[in-house]
């Protein structure tokens, strides 16, 4: 762990949260809504105002998770989801100029993966997929204990893969429930919890679809652990049977016995994961120095 504190920033399309992290705990957490439709500089100032409230002289680094594609080396974010003015923002440079410490930027799914690796269910594992299931479908990949972003921050983004005339996330995210039931997933979940057969069948079908996405990840990365996060993951018991039914088609059935699939339980994992971007960068620097 870092000798000082780290600021983790979770930037979404409607709000921003910033936390000062020491060891494995958040010392202070601040959040506010952002003006997602506003100009680039106004949104940036709102991020700064949130970070200002948690920043102090003990901060040694900053990490930020963003729902977008990122040039990880230069820290430039592109086409941030739900913030139209953020088409190409040098976020790393702007944070470093303001706070005088190193900053690391990555997409939110990758930050989630690191949050689980350093603070959650993935501690002690080497090869991990962290799958976020919400309004979209994202994945962060851990290989041999370190984040694998790919050359263009696109590793693991199976949600964007073409599938049956659409994309994988069309079938494996909140889009599924909005399309099939005409309402968000949490409302379908409430009906399923009451035992409504139609809602239970929808979750089973969703599980089968998600199982297909997991099959892709198994063939591509062969992880020992898959951690599910995002709003829909909380309904795991409702779609687990359908998911495992689809996994019966996996060619390497013997490997399923060694695969663990679990659900994230960390509070504020996105903020902790953003802070872990700094820890991952330090780990890489030590590895290169050997």
Which pLDDT value is given to residue 81? 87
Cα 70 to its chain centre, rounded Å, is 13
Q: Residue 1: is its pLDDT beyond 60?
A: no
Better pLDDT: 138 or 282: 138
Contact in structure between 35 and 14 (CB atoms under 8 Å): no
**DSSP characters over 41-79:** HHHHHHHHHHHHTT--TTEEEEEEEESSEEETTTTEEES
pLDDT digits (tens, 9 = 90+) for 62-115: 999 999 999 999 999 999 988 999 999 999 999 999 999 999 999 999 999 999
Percentage of the chain modeled with pLDDT above 70? 97
The mean pLDDT of 238-256, rounded to a whole number, is: 96
pLDDT at 61 over 80: yes
Q: Are 206 and 176 in contact (CB under 8 A)?
A: yes
pLDDT value at position 282?
81
**Rounded average pLDDT over 222-249:** 97
Q: What is the model's pLDDT at position 290?
A: 61
Distance CA 290, CA 287 (A): 6
Name the fold adopted by 124-263: Nucleotidyltransferase; domain 5 (3.30.420)
The residue with greater pLDDT, 43 or 284, is: 43
Across residues 115-141, what is the average pLDDT?
Answer: 96
Any alpha helices (H) in the chain, and if so which ranges?
Answer: 40-52, 91-99, 108-119, 168-171, 174-181, 185-193, 197-221, 236-247, 253-256, 269-289
**Beta strands 25-33; 15-22: pairing state:** antiparallel
Q: Return the pLDDT at 2.
A: 61
What are the structure tokens assigned to 2, written together? Answer: 């870092």
- Contact yes or no for 132/112 (Cβ under 8 A): yes
Q: Structural domain boundaries of the chain?
A: 5-112+268-289, 124-263
Superfamily of domain 5-112+268-289: ATPase, nucleotide binding domain (3.30.420.40)
- Specify the 3-state DSSP secondary structure of 167: strand
Q: Quick one: pLDDT band at residue 13, thresholds 50, 70, 90?
A: confident
pLDDT bracket for residue 287 (50, 70, 90): low
**Which are the contacts of 206, defined by CB distance < 8 A and separation ≥ 6?**
172, 176, 177, 232, 239, 242
Lowest mean pLDDT among 34-38, 80-84, 125-129, 286-290: 286-290
Q: pLDDT tens digit string along 130-176?
A: 999 998 999 999 999 999 999 989 999 999 999 999 999 999 999 99
pLDDT at res. 283: 73
Worst-scoring range by mean pLDDT, 29-43, 60-74, 85-99, 276-290?
276-290
- Whether pLDDT at 285 is above 80: no
Q: Taking residues 228-255, what's their average pLDDT?
A: 96
pLDDT value of residue 29: 98
Q: Is the pLDDT of residue 229 over 90?
A: yes
Query: pTM here?
Result: 0.93
- Asked, colleague to colleague, whether 5-112+268-289 and 124-263 share their fold, the answer is yes
What is the rounded end-to-end Cα distance, in angstroms, of the chain? 19
Give the separation between CA 142 and CA 223, rounded to whole angstroms: 9
> Is the confidence at residue 289, as pLDDT, over 70?
no
């Amino acid at each position: 762990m870092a000798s000082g504190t780290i600021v983790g920033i979770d930037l979404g399309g409607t709000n921003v949260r910033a936390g000062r992290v020491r060891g494995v705990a958040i010392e202070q957490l601040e959040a506010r809504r952002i003006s997602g439709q506003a100009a680039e500089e106004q949104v940036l100032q709102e991020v700064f105002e949130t970070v200002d409230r948690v920043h102090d002289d003990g901060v040694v680094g900053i990490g930020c998770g963003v729902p977008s594609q990122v040039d990880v080396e230069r820290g430039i974010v592109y086409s941030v989801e739900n913030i139209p003015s953020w088409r190409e923002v040098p976020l790393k440079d702007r944070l470093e100029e303001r706070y005088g410490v190193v900053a690391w930027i990555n997409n939110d799914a990758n930050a989630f993966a690191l949050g689980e690796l350093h603070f959650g269910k993935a501690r002690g594992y080497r090869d991990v997929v962290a799958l976020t299931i919400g309004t979209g479908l994202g994945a962060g990949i851990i290989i041999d204990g370190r984040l694998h972003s790919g050359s263009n921050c696109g590793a693991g983004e199976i949600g964007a893969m073409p599938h049956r005339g659409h994309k994988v996330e069309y079938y494996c995210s909140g889009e599924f429930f909005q399309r099939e039931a005409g309402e968000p997933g949490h409302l379908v979940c409430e009906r399923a919890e009451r035992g409504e057969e139609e809602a239970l069948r929808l979750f089973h079908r969703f599980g089968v679809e998600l199982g297909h996405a997991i099959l892709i990840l198994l063939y591509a990365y062969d992880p020992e652990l898959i951690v599910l996060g995002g709003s829909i993951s909380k309904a795991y018991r409702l779609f687990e049977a359908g998911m495992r039914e689809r996994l019966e088609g996996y060619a390497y059935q013997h490997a399923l016995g060694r695969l663990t699939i679990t659900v994230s339980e960390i509070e504020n994992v996105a903020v902790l994961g953003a802070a872990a971007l700094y820890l991952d960068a330090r780990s890489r620097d030590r590895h290169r120095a050997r």
